[in-house]
């Protein structure tokens, strides 16, 4: 089965459409999303509705989604993120809100687990190190776990009892899954990349070929920035979208 994999859309509709157009060319039978459909960006309703119209769409809830639904205190966030959450609460349609409410904290099916932050703390932990991989090892059971939250595309792997390896993933990089090895993949962020590369990030997971491949795609960053400005979102958020940080 071929899955389109993405995360951290953050209400960036133009980036989302660019990503979905690319993923669609692989004829995926399903889509996996690690949360944060909203927050930061200007078009939450459009993003939520487009995602939920995808075939076989599986998505877990992210910390921004939770805060919009009043399930995580807004005090958790810095001031510009908190302002964007207030904007999202004000803007969100009843339909989009009810779709967000269906998203669970974690999902596992077949050989795949989905969480936003980490298996042991889906809402909050940024999973970035080998030590964290080990500390999380007993909190998920499948061979592959997809995470988001850090907005950095990463492959983390642990062969047998060895110390985990961590690889930053670049455009076109394809990981071939080995037996007796567990993987945590982060597909990066669609709507607010943070690895000094402003291109939207996504991946393709092929369960038969046992591969995960990452893609970075140019989209109209300035168009999203102009819309953010018109909707009164913070200059800091607008600027970081251009810098990819």
State the residues that interact with Fe ion by CB under 5 A. 8, 36
**What minimum distance in Å lies between the beta carbon of 175 and Fe ion?**
22
Q: Shortest Cβ distance from residue 109 to Fe ion (Å)?
A: 23
Would you tell me how many other CB atoms lie within 10 Å of the CB of residue 213? 19
Q: Which is nearer to Fe ion, 117 or 164 (CB)?
A: 117
Least Å from the CB of residue 11 to Fe ion: 11
Tokens 């807004």 sit at which residue? 74
Which C-beta is closer to Fe ion: that of 10 or that of 182? 10
Torsion of CA 172, 190, 194, 44, to 10 degrees: 180
For CA atoms 137, 168, 1, 178, the dihedral sign is: negative
Contacts 24+ apart (CB under 8 A), 160-164: 163/130, 163/134, 164/130, 164/133, 164/134
Cβ nearer to Fe ion, comparing 119 with 148: 148
Write down the least CB distance from residue 107 to Fe ion, Å.
17
- Which is nearer to Fe ion, 136 or 189 (by Cβ)? 189
CB of 151 to Fe ion, least distance (A): 6
Q: Kindly tell me which of 24 and 71 has the beta carbon lying closer to Fe ion.
A: 71
Residue nearest to Fe ion (CB): 36
């Amino acid at each position: 089965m071929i899955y389109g994999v993405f995360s951290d859309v953050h209400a960036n509709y133009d980036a989302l459409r660019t990503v979905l157009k690319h993923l669609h060319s692989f004829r995926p039978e399903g889509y996996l999303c690690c949360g944060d459909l909203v927050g930061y960006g200007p078009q939450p309703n459009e993003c939520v509705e487009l995602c939920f119209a995808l075939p076989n769409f599986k998505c877990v809830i992210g910390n921004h989604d939770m805060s919009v639904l009043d399930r995580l205190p807004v005090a958790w966030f810095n001031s510009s993120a908190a302002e964007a959450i207030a904007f999202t609460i004000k803007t969100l349609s009843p339909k989009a809100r009810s779709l967000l409410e269906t998203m669970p904290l974690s999902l596992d099916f077949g050989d795949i687990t989905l969480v936003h932050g980490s298996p042991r703390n889906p809402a909050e932990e940024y999973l970035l190190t080998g030590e964290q991989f080990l500390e999380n090892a007993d909190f998920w059971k499948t061979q592959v776990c997809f995470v988001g939250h850090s907005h950095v595309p990463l492959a983390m792997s642990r062969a047998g009892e060895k110390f985990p390896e961590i690889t930053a993933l670049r455009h076109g990089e394809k990981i071939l899954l080995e037996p007796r090895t567990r993987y945590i993949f982060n597909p990066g962020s669609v709507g607010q990349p943070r690895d000094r590369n402003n291109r939207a990030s996504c991946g393709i997971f092929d369960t038969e070929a046992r591969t995960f491949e990452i893609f970075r795609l140019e989209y109209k960053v300035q168009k999203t920035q102009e819309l953010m400005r018109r909707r009164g979102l913070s200059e800091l958020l607008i600027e970081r979208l251009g810098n990819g940080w």
